[in-house]
Structure 1
Amino acid sequence: MHAMTIPAALARTGSRILGNQQSPEALFRELRAAVDAHINRHGDQMGNLEAAVQAIQSQVNGGAGGFSFGPPSWGEQVASSDVLATLRNAAGKAKAQIDLKPTASITSVPGSGGGFIQPDRADPAAMPTRRLTIRALLGRGTTGSNMIEYPRQTVRANNAATVAELALKPESNFGWELAQAKVQTIAHWVGASRQVLDDSGQLRTMIDGELRYGLALKEETQILLGDGVGTNLLGLIPQATAYDAAGQAAGASKFDVLLRAIAQAEAADLPATGVVVNNADWLTMQGIKDAQGRYIGSGPMGTAMATAWGLDVAPSASMPVGKFLVGNFANAATIYDRLQPVVLLSTEDRDNFIRNAVTILAEERLALAVRFPAALIYGDYAAAG
């Protein structure tokens, strides 16, 4: 640039712009750099040089050659302003204010920068699940059959006594019955597309968990309340011994009722090991106070375990409100698992194959044998004040 005249340099740069040999914006920046480099060397030609720069910028921003790049940026506005030319002619000794026109801003709306903004995906919000406690109280076993049979003693007439010499000895009487517990199936299923299961491992895991929880929830209600009709289990409550409220003192609290039920189990020679209550009832019982307004339990700041009269308490929403079950659960009843809970997938159900669909099935098989009904005392708090 220094070896040629300034008009020749402008002519060469201008021809490169109009010839579209490279980006017009890049050539304009090159020209601006050349102008700045010659300010001190060609001060007397500054007026002509600035006019040439303005002409080329006009071409870049929409003049000859058909170039159009939208509104000039703030940098381009400063470079092309009359105020900048005045400052140059004044050899940098003056100062002035340049008013810049707003340019198009990048925003989050569609058509601007919105397409680059992606929402964060939080963990899924699953529906609440119930705390399941009953299975853990019972005895465990397995079976390879569809039926559990066990002799259960029904008669014990013990006539043992002291006997005089040469006297007849007393006769006692014992009797048994053959009890049966049929293995029953608990199952449910859901349909899904093969693509969504292949593409989302998290969804597949969630479905697996939901199906297994559904089995466990139904199992708990069957263990407690099943009536033995049809495919139902015969549960603990239908086979339990009724609570005997006779002799209950007036004004007894709910804890007093539980104590009497525990005593009833003791009288049957089957000492209770635990208590099942409705969880809402248990929370109400924790709020019981004495005549001075003091909590009889640990109070709101306490960390005591759920116990009553030295026995573990298992609150359960599956227990009906206002009811309780006291018993020696591990000895009274046993769960026999024929098939542990499993989740199976199949494309051979109905027209799944031609629809790329999958049937997801969860099932389990089990039997419930209540060996000692007298070990379970079932009742309500109607006798409580």
Structure 2
Amino acid sequence: MNRQETLKALVAEAENLEKKGTNLTEKEISRAEEISRQIQQLKTAMSSAKKTAATLRAATHNEGETSTMLEGKFTIGEKFVKSDEVRGFREDHPHGFESKNGVVNFAVKDVASGQRVLKADPLNTGIPGASRPEYVEGIDDLTYRKPRTILDLIYQGTTNSPWLQYRQLRAVTNNASITGEAKTTTGTDAKGGLKPLSTLTTATADAKAFTYADGLEITNQELSDDGALVGIIDGELEANLLDVIEKTLINGSGSADEPAGILHTTGVLNQAFDTDIATTLRKAKTLLSTTSGTTPQAVVMNPEDNEALDLLQDKNGRYLGAGPFASGDPTVWSIPRLESSYLEKGTAIIGDFSVIQLLVYEALNIAVFNQHKDYAQRNLSYIRAEMRALQMIRKPAQLCVAKLAQG
């Protein structure tokens, strides 16, 4: 038996002796004193071993790494399994959770800036290693996404507030002009020396932090295996959270349960279908330029609409675009094309997506629990990824929803 198992057995024996109260025999009294001495020795040895292990881990880190979490180009899952919390838990619980109240909790920095320092009190679970790190420093590129999605286009940062009121810029009337010198005090236009005045149409909007979360049941064997945990966190949980964020940015209803996405935000421009997909998108590009002076950053389309655009041919069967052997990112009217399955077929969004802000209020957190009525019996645990963030669409008029089909 290892130290943890020995300690557990001694505690159980001590509890049995304690139940006898004043009816202990001389031999049992002597044994109780020996158990007390052994428990104290084990606790001292385990504490010393943990400190030594922490010192060794710190010594083996590369220069610039903290003992709380390794820096560098690691994924969320890799950072989780390399954390002191998980390592310490495994040292104390080599066979997985041994109580009904176990938890490993690991908090990391903001998705985008890497600047916010999160501090949290240790979790009162009574299990060694069950605490959040007090700080994490020097972490770059917290999330690793598939390239070229709508999430790569928006602004991502942090916020200290769970709720904000902000001003949306919905329209701009540019009245700039060359002005003459004022010759009198009665001039009524630019030639008479009256300086022009541009106008802004704004509105107050609310931004509230919503919780994005997902979880999976895992076995104790998966919990004890680094590769399995990394695959679950990076391959499933993180990907699922990014998907629901993308879906909400596009389709959020603006109800009490979710923020307003692009399709439900007042002030976003609309372009009706005109002739075909290519013509409609060109009209939308012009609408953005004339209405808000926007140069489109990208156009996001449903995969089927994107396919239809790729397959456009002339009367001789030649592709109008670059064809199947093109290299580089596809474009339409020199605007990069991206896909999102969360846009319904026949709808595209074109514009400057940097006017959308996703601000993280509580950074992505990975936690493992086994507080379930029969998880301990089944050697199962629940692993959860969770974050809180609010989204704002600062300048709706720099985005346009284009209908790519009749009706």
TM-score (norm: length of structure 2): 0.54
Amino acid at match of 1:142: T
1:224 paired with 2:243, answer no
Q: Cα offset for 1:335?
A: 1.2
Aligned mates of 1:360, 1:301 — CA distance in 2: 43
Aligned residue for 1:243, secondary structure, equals strand
**Residue 221 of structure 2: aligned partner:** 196
Point out where structure 2 has 5 or more consecutive residues left out of the alignment: 1-144, 189-193
CA distance in 2, matches of 1:349, 1:167: 81
The answer for the alignment partner of 1:256 in structure 2 is 279
Q: Is the 8 A contact 2:271 2:401 kept in 1?
A: no
Aligned twin of 1:274: 298
Correspondence 1:244 to 2:268 = no
User: Structure 1: which 4+ aligned runs deviate by more than 6 Å?
Assistant: 129-132, 157-164
Task: Give the one of 193, 197, 205 matched to 1:179.
Answer: 205
Match of 1:318 in 2: 342
Q: Mind listing any 5+ residue stretches in structure 1 that lack a counterpart? A: 1-128
Question: What is the total number of aligned residue pairs between the two structures?
Answer: 250
RMSD: 3.1
Identity of aligned residues (%): 23
1:174, 1:135 → 2: CA distance?
A: 28
Residues 189 and 158 of structure 1, relative CA distance in 2, 3 Å threshold = closer
Structure-2 change in CA distance of 1:243 and 1:159 (3 Å): closer
Deviations 1:255-281 (A, max 9, x none): 111110000000121221110011121
Contact 1:298 1:304 (8 Å CA) reproduced: no
SS at match of 1:166: coil
Residue 403 (structure 2) pairs with residue 375 (structure 1): no
**Which structure would you say has the larger Rg?**
1
Note if contact 2:367-2:383 (Cα within 8 Å) is conserved in structure 1: yes
Q: How big is each residue's C-alpha offset from its partner over 1:190-215, in whole Å with a ceiling of 9 and x where there is no partner?
A: 3334x323454443333223122211
Q: 1:152 aligns with which of 141, 148, 168?
A: 168
1:334 Cα deviation (Å)? 1.2
Contact map agreement 2:357 2:392 (CA 8 A) in 1: yes
How far did residue 339 of structure 1 move? Answer: 2.7
Superimposed CA distance per residue, residues 40-97 of structure 1 (whole angstroms, 9 cap, x where no aligned partner)? xxxxxxxxxxxxxxxxxxxxxxxxxxxxxxxxxxxxxxxxxxxxxxxxxxxxxxxxxx
Deviations 1:173-195 (A, max 9, x none): 656433221111111223334x3
Letter of the aligned partner of 1:298 in structure 2?
A
Contact between 1:181 and 1:367, CA under 8 Å: does it hold in 2?
A: yes
Cα distance in structure 2, aligned partners of 1:320 and 1:286: 18
Give the structure 2 partner of residue 4 of structure 1.
Answer: none
Equivalent pair of 1:212/1:341 in contact (CA under 8 Å): no
Report what 1:214 is aligned to: 240
Query: Equivalents in 2 of 1:181, 1:231: separation in Å?
Result: 12
Aligned-pair distance for 1:329? Answer: 1.0
1:165 alignment partner, one of 184, 204, 208: 184
Distance 1:198 1:219, change over 3 A: closer
Q: Match of 2:248, as an amino acid?
A: Q
